[in-house]
Amino acid sequence: MIKHAAISDEQVRALIKKGMITLGGNKKLKIYGRLNCKSGKRMNRVNRVFFADEKEALENGFRPCANCQRNLYKEWIYSVEENR
């Protein structure tokens, strides 16, 4: 997990170009999604984190975004409800 506040925008673009960043997340809400998600673009820089892949996001306790990751979110919510 990479905190956006810890690196410059140029570094973020370079890591995206290299494929080292594929997803973004909100560290307060513990939600991850695609980099082009409208919800993610509105988030405050200090709350934004980046992940290499879905596995890394899930390992850090994040859930899929209901906006840009709708199918993954439905699977996630189903599994949460199933475990109650």
Which spans in 28-69 are helix H?
A: 38-41, 54-59
- The burial of 25, by beta-carbon neighbours within 10 Å (0-12 exposed, 13-18 middle, 19 or more buried), is given as buried
CATH, residue 30: 3.40.10.10
Tell me the Cα Rg of the chain.
13
Beta bridge partners of 2: 50
Residue 80 has what pLDDT? 83
pLDDT value of residue 42: 87
Average pLDDT, the chain: 93
What digits encode the pLDDT tens for the residues 24-60? Answer: 999 999 999 999 999 888 889 999 999 999 999 999 9
Domains held by the chain: number: 1
- Structural domain that includes position 77: 2-82
Kindly give, in sequence order, each residue whose CB lies less than 8 Å from that of residue 69, ignoring residues fewer than 6 positions away: 32, 33, 34
